[in-house]
């Protein structure tokens, strides 16, 4: 309704027009004042959680870019805000940058860490700016996977010794005449090039470059019954969509992966852990305590991941849903002592 006033043509008496528009404007404000919710009177819009904003303060939580991590972060943040009255500041960061944040004080907590020996050495052992807060309870599994249709039709392929027999089938335009082993996001630990060489496999590693490329390749492979061998990992929301099968490699024994050039054994099971900034861990913030006690199973994480990736809930809603159904687990994290 106010728009029409802007169409005043030049040539009218300028002053009179401006005056009349101003009067109309005042009128609009006066009329509008009669109805509608006022901003400051809106309930629930005030920031902060339901809990008393106590001594917890702000927790700077790094959020690394994968759904499983997002699930951990969402549940941790939900509990910290709702039960402890903390303010959780989430920061979307890649792992390297997140660890740098321990040094500069920009990050308090990394809640799901996959190994990263070089970072552990640098920031925990040498610089002493970060500490290990123990396991999240999740077991990380890394390995080579094939799509379910292939495992069903050729079950023998799930043993690495038979891989060479089928190398031809895995050939692509990218693999230079050998079978293709597709790798993904370079952030993850991989010994694949050394493994292929040391196990004398007639394969070559092709860099897919991202997790998205891996997942999409598995989807396509399943749909079109294509042969695909690729590096992948659990826990991962994608297993909900497609039950990938893992190829067994020579068994892992402690120390068999000591020399990265001579590795000829499977990846070790990773105990996913939490890393905190030293200053944060040493503080008496209840959030640091919660971070220490935060533990759940792969099933728990997969469930929250599924809420996020499949049901498309926001992380907050997903966490709320899970926490409501798992009061006992959460109570365990919050118990004193």
- Decide if residue 206 touches another protein (CB under 8 A): yes
Q: How far apart are CA 58 and CA 85, in angstroms?
A: 9
Q: How many CB atoms lie within 10 A of CB 45?
A: 9
Strand, coil or helix: 144: strand
Residue closer to another protein (CB basis): 101 or 286: 101
Which residues, numbered 259-278, are part of the site for another protein (CB under 8 A)?
Answer: 260-261
x-or-dash string of contact with another protein, 31-70, rule CB under 8 A: -xx--xxxxx-x--xxx-----------------xxx--x
- Decide if residue 5 touches another protein (CB under 8 A): yes
Find the part of the chain contacting another protein (CB under 8 A) among 134-142, 291-299, 306-314, 322-330.
306-314
Which position among 59, 130, 182, 265 is part of the footprint of another protein (CB under 8 A)?
A: 182
Residue closer to another protein (CB basis): 134 or 148: 148
CA geometry: angle at 46 spanning 45 and 52, to 5°? 135
Q: How far apart are CA 37 and CA 115, in angstroms?
A: 52
- Decide if residue 93 touches another protein (CB under 8 A): yes
- Decide if residue 17 touches another protein (CB under 8 A): yes
Which position among 82, 87, 100, 283 is part of the footprint of another protein (CB under 8 A)?
A: 100
Strand, coil or helix: 61: strand
Find the part of the chain contacting another protein (CB under 8 A) among 23-31, 243-251, 286-294, 319-327.
23-31
- Decide if residue 243 touches another protein (CB under 8 A): no
How many residues contact another protein, by CB under 8 A?
84
Residue closer to another protein (CB basis): 95 or 234: 95
- Decide if residue 142 touches another protein (CB under 8 A): no
Give the length of the chain. Answer: 337
- Decide if residue 18 touches another protein (CB under 8 A): yes
- Distances in Å between the Cα of 293 and the Cα atoms of 8, 132, 134, 155, 190 are 67, 12, 8, 41, 30
Q: How many CB atoms lie within 10 A of CB 204?
A: 21
Q: Is 87 exposed, middle or buried (0-12, 13-18, 19+ CB in 10 A)?
A: middle
Which position among 78, 232, 237, 280 is part of the footprint of another protein (CB under 8 A)?
A: 237
Residue pair 290/84 in contact by the 8 Å Cβ criterion: yes
- Decide if residue 186 touches another protein (CB under 8 A): yes
Q: How far apart are CA 226 and CA 148, in angstroms?
A: 11
- 167: tokens are 């190398």
Find the part of the chain contacting another protein (CB under 8 A) among 73-81, 92-100, 289-297, 318-326.
92-100
- Decide if residue 104 touches another protein (CB under 8 A): yes
Which position among 125, 162, 210, 248 is part of the footprint of another protein (CB under 8 A)?
A: 210
Which position among 52, 54, 92, 225 is part of the footprint of another protein (CB under 8 A)?
A: 92
- Decide if residue 215 touches another protein (CB under 8 A): yes
Q: How far apart are CA 37 and CA 247, in angstroms?
A: 61
Q: How far apart are CA 263 and CA 91, in angstroms?
A: 36
Q: Which residue has the tokens 């303060």?
A: 57
- Decide if residue 96 touches another protein (CB under 8 A): yes
Q: How far apart are CA 205 and CA 183, in angstroms?
A: 7
């Amino acid at each position: 309704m106010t728009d029409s006033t802007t169409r005043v043509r030049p040539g009218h008496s300028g002053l009179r027009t401006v005056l009349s528009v101003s009067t109309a404007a005042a009128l609009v404000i006066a009329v509008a004042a009669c109805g509608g919710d006022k901003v400051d009177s809106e309930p629930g819009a005030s920031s902060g959680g339901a809990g008393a904003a106590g001594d917890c303060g702000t927790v700077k939580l790094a959020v690394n870019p994968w759904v499983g991590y997002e699930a951990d972060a969402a549940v941790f943040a939900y509990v910290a805000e709702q039960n402890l009255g903390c303010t959780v500041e989430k920061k979307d960061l890649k792992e390297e940058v997140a660890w740098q944040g321990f040094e500069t004080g920009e990050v308090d907590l990394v809640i799901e860490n996959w190994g990263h020996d070089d970072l552990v050495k640098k920031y925990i052992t040498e610089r002493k700016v970060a500490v290990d807060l123990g396991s999240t309870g999740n077991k990380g599994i890394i390995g080579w996977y094939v799509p379910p249709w292939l495992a069903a039709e050729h079950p023998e392929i799930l043993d690495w010794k038979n891989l060479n027999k089928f190398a031809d089938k895995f050939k692509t335009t990218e693999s230079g005449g050998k079978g293709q082993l597709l790798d993904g996001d370079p952030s993850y630990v991989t010994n694949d090039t050394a493994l292929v060489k040391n196990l004398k496999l007639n394969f070559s590693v092709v860099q897919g470059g991202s997790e998205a490329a891996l997942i999409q390749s598995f989807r396509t492979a399943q749909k079109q019954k294509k042969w695909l061998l690729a590096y992948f990992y659990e826990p991962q929301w994608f297993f909900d969509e497609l039950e990938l099968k893992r190829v067994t490699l020579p068994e892992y024994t402690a120390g068999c992966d000591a020399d990265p050039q001579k590795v000829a054994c499977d990846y070790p099971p990773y105990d996913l852990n939490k890393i905190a900034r030293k200053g944060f861990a040493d503080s008496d913030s209840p959030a640091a305590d919660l971070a220490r006690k935060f533990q759940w199973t792969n099933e728990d994480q997969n469930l929250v991941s599924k809420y996020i990736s499949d049901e498309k809930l926001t992380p907050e809603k997903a966490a709320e849903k899970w926490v409501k159904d798992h009061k006992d687990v959460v109570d365990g994290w919050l118990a004193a002592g």
